[in-house]
Structure 1
């Protein structure tokens, strides 16, 4: 069908408009192309225009300062990036002072952004107050969650950290954000409907104060407030109080530490075991041995553990060749390297600490691990409520018998929530067989006896203590207490049941309190006799050694006398022995002595010095000696000189020892293994007789989280007395 003249005219007009539009965009294209070419050919950028720095420069400075770039480095970074990546050079860049001002400007921009987000949000606001104290200053912060976003409203330095201070902090930030507009402040306050915190007392009070503040603002914001019913008003006023799940996990760890501490105290009868028994060892108050073991092991072998004493690289190499229980072998190999590994080795030898670590591993796999993953999933905090209830029900049920959890047979949140790997298999592995069952029964019996022993005042160690404890008990309790004491010594301490003295029954009848008391005192006497017998054996061995030493000295006395040149003379041989020889030849090392030397003119003179070493040459003990004021070392058979009274050990003067380097010997109680620690004597108290020693401990405890007075390497020791006993050696 042919078109009308009107339609043709209309198409002609449309075609003309389209041509004009095409021509316009062609012009725009050419203009943009010219600008691109000009930009590419431009070798400089103009950051300053019309008396101010451009917005682009200001934004770049803000971004870099918020990334914690140093104010002095901001212009250097911008210039380097522009020159290296674009080949352009800025005409001028603001300095460090401008960069610092940009932080304040960024704060204002952030408040404007925060205000826009709150005004555009249709849902309620959740606020979370938090704070910390550093170097005596308390800092408070307020975070908010709205429309799926979490933002920080601000952080301020606060004079104190009480609930009212946090409420004022929140009100102050909102007032600054709204420009001190009371109406807008009330509108924001009313939109706050939820809070989330760790449920500390301060936060609980904060919720109360926040509710009161919102209640005052509601009549100014909600229309027809006066006409609302009490129930409707209560809905507006009520604030939902949510709990931070991560703090719940922290609470579980704290409770686990307390429970393990109590259990360890019962198992070991309140005695210290492991690292605290080492020389200079300590334990953090309230920390269980299991927790200490876990902490120190990670410090020893983790990449971000101890900077000074940790060995993460060596540990990774060690893992390539070792199988199960590798940490025990690795620690044993390095136990003498530093105090950290010495402590780790000592704790690893305690079976109860190993059992506690295994239990913590099972809890991590079954409880805290799944809970943590639930919390990291997207969703509302209220969705965790059924999981908390499920966990509560499981804990209540397992409190009577947790064997199914320990065996890996019960999954609180479902088997699919547990990550089954080699760690899980080792923690839940239980060996079958009669021997394993017997071992478990024996351990359970010992634990039960240990608990009963604590209920009757611990282990009674003397006859007087037995009488005193019995007087404090009623007649019906005395028999049970005595039975516990005898049974504990038999099955836990392994005391021999000679003559059935540890039995609590005779002829199917329980023994009376009088008979049990007599038997227990007899056991104590036998133990005392055994100690005396052991001491007698030790004394016999000591006398035997002294006799051999005396024969050795006698042999040297009868040997031909030799004259040796030293410091321009020879040693005299006229003196009468009056200084006793040491029990062991090595006990002379580190002693300050005076040595009688015969001069060229025939006179004799005493020279003072320190014995620094010992060697055996052709069956003869040769000591190295350095005289005061000399650096040269001389060698002599000083045992001969001591017998002839040409060598005398000088009593240690406190004035001499202060400032000196010494070696100090300690003995580990568990296996009697000896350790020598080097240190400097820094002072001496004449009243107590104790000297202060700063040891050269390389224990690796210099990280911030472990800084405390217990971690010092300075101790008070009886240096003078230990020097007499041969436990202190003076160094040059």
Structure 2
């Protein structure tokens, strides 16, 4: 299980070669096995994390909306906090969440005043927007639904604010543009109908190949809506409601309620169609193995057995990197072996395992760990030095090749 990074094919080939070399060593009577059995044991199935597919939907939708806005709208917001390649809809979502959420902008934000405005003037006790900081999966689509729900309150709040700063002016100017608001609404509808339910399906299914039917269902829905998104705008679900229910909260009601603005509805439908078209292209490229005609679309019984315990995502390894990142921030001078030991201690639940041992066995294991700790560190140093030597050797070889050219 991996993402689609450029280094993965080389890593997978090395891992497959390592497996082929080690299997004859660790498996008894390897030479007596039939060739088809050997091939089945050495064959390695490479699956791709579907959470990365969900993450990649956001930049794809953003770039598509940028092209849509450039074709539909003229002029620009002079107060905008622009980023290269960012659509006006994504900018509105980002700046609104920066201004009106905790952990947003400590300098220019006004989250507490905005929350009071919601409570006293609109009777709402909850600010549905959340900060982008610390959130990655589906956050653009989720915040799009919240920003569309609050867009009228945002405009009225900034209008009543004496001498608003540049950030608040930028948010108000973008929120008043129908084409940007239509893009925000389209992203919010995508969250409630496509990405949100898909996110929950990744947690429901316990096998990667069990996602085949859901991915195919998404392919059919995106293909249909890329041509005519009127049914999507009308509230048509993508997945069966008995399998995964949509969260029909106040955000859902705001997104699918009649807008009483025909121009906004037309722009929203157009935005939905172009976003669905771009998401369809990405889906067919990054999930091609599990779609009709792909390698794992109709898996054999052997492939089903192999993939039985393969999760739908590699969030576990991503979590390890998050723990490592926090460790390096808290203890910048910690050694690699110390960080590795800490992460393995958490994953293997070593503390619980030791607690369940009897006193004699626990004491024996602890004595062994204490007496062999120094030798383990020495082996790590030797391995590190060997790796440095290999890197230096490769660098020298590359330099000689450049000189000969």
Alpha-carbon separation, structure 2, partners of 1:219 and 1:422: 60
Deviation at 1:388, TM superposition (A): 1.5
**DSSP 3-state at the match of 2:164:** coil
Q: Deviations over 1:505-537 (max 9, x none)?
A: xxxxxxxxxxxxxxxxxxxxxxxxxxxxxxxxx
Partner of 2:174, secondary structure, is helix
- How much does 1:414 deviate? 2.0
C-alpha distance in 2 between matches for 1:228 and 1:272: 72
Q: Is the 8 A contact 2:205 2:211 kept in 1?
A: no
Are residues 1:364 and 2:191 paired?
yes
Cα distance in 2, alignment partners of residues 371 and 399 from structure 1: 18
TM-score by length of 2: 0.55
Q: Secondary structure at the match of 2:183?
A: helix
Alpha-carbon distance, 1:441 to partner: 9.4
CA contact 1:362–1:406 (8 Å) conserved in 2: yes
Q: For 1:550-600, what per-residue CA distance to the aligned partner results, in whole angstroms no more than 9, with x for missing partners? A: xxxxxxxxxxxxxxxxxxxxxxxxxxxxxxxxxxxxxxxxxxxxxxxxxxx
Alignment partner for residue 294 of structure 1, among 93, 102, 123? Answer: 93
Q: Cα 1:294–1:385, aligned 2, differ >3 Å: closer, same or farther?
A: same
Work out the CA distance in 1 between the residues paired with 2:54 and 2:265: 33
Q: 1:215 matched to which residue of 2?
A: 20
> Paired residue for 1:418, among 243, 246, 257?
246
1:391 corresponding residue in structure 2? 218
Compute the displacement of 1:272 (Å): 4.4
Quick one: distance in 1 between partners of 2:204 and 2:160? 43
Does the 8 Å contact 1:336/1:342 carry over to 2? Answer: no
Residue pairs, 1:144-163, within 5 angstroms: none
Q: Structure 1, residues 351-386: CA drift from partner, whole Å, max 9, x if none?
A: 111111100110011111111122233723333232
Aligned residue in 1 for 2:44 = 239
Matched, 1:403 2:252: no
Q: C-alpha offsets along residues 186-243 of structure 1, whole Å, 9 cap, x if unaligned?
A: xxxxxxxxxx221212123211110011111112122333343432222111222222
Q: 1:362 and 1:247 mapped to 2: Cα distance?
A: 20
Deviation at 1:443, TM superposition (A): 6.5
Distance across 2 between alignment mates of 1:200 and 1:234: 27
Deviation at 1:332, TM superposition (A): 2.4
SS in structure 1 of the partner of residue 117 of structure 2: helix
2:63 equivalent in structure 1? 258
Deviation string, structure 1 residues 303-353 (Cα, Å, up to 9, x no partner): 121111111110111001334721121122338332211211121121111
Q: Please give the per-residue CA displacement for 1:687-714, whole angstroms capped at 9, x wherever unaligned.
A: xxxxxxxxxxxxxxxxxxxxxxxxxxxx
Shift of 1:431: 5.2
Contact 1:318 1:330 in 2 (8 A): yes
Unmatched segments (≥5 aa) in structure 2: 123-149, 272-405
Q: 1:219 to 1:347 in 2, by over 3 A?
A: same
The alignment partner of 2:159 has SS state of: helix
Aligned to 1:430, which of 252, 258, 266? 258
Equivalence for 1:273:
76
The structure-2 alpha-carbon separation of the partners of 1:393 and 1:335, relative to structure 1 and needing over 3 Å to count, comes to: farther
1:614 matched residue in structure 2: none
State the aligned residue count: 240
Runs of 4+ in 1 over 6 A off after TM superposition: 440-444
Name the CA distance, whole Å, in 2 between partners of 1:443 and 1:391: 23
Rate the CA distance shift 1:257–1:335 in 2: closer, same or farther, 3 A. farther
How far apart, CA to CA, are the structure 2 residues paired with 1:382 and 1:308? Answer: 48
Quick one: structure 1 residues 427 and 441, their matched pair in 2 at CA, closer, same or farther if it must change by over 3 Å?
A: closer
Residues in 1 aligned to 2:201 and 2:87: alpha-carbon distance in whole angstroms? 29
Q: How has the CA–CA distance of structure 1 residues 331 and 309 changed in structure 2, closer, same or farther, with 3 Å as cutoff?
A: same
Corresponding residue for residue 180 of structure 2:
353
- Higher RCO, 1 vs 2 (CA within 8 Å, ≥6 residues apart): 2
For 1:250 and 1:442, the matched residues in 2 are separated by 27
Q: What SS does the aligned partner of 1:415 have? A: coil
Structure 1 residues 235 and 388: CA distance shift in structure 2, 3 A: same
Determine the C-alpha separation between the residues in 1 that align with 2:266 and 2:223. 27
Cα deviation for residue 245 of structure 1 reads 2.1
Give the greater-gyration-radius structure (CA). 1
Q: SS at 2:47's partner residue?
A: strand
Q: 1:272 to 1:283 in 2, by over 3 A?
A: farther
**Normalising by the residue count of structure 1, what TM-score does the alignment of the two structures yield?**
0.31
**Counterpart of 1:318?**
117
Q: What's the C-alpha RMSD, in Å, of the aligned pairs?
A: 2.6
1:442 is displaced (CA, Å) by: 8.3
* 1:225–1:302 distance in 2 versus 1, CA, 3 Å: same
Q: Are 2:65 and 2:89, in contact at CA under 8 Å, matched by a contact in 1?
A: yes
Q: Report the structure, 1 or 2, having the larger strand content.
A: 1
Structure 1 CA distance for aligned equivalents of residues 13 and 215 of structure 2: 25
Structure 1 residues not aligned, in runs of 5+: 1-195, 448-732
Matches of 1:348 and 1:354, distance apart in 2: 6
- 8 Å CA contact 1:300–1:310 kept in 2: the answer is yes
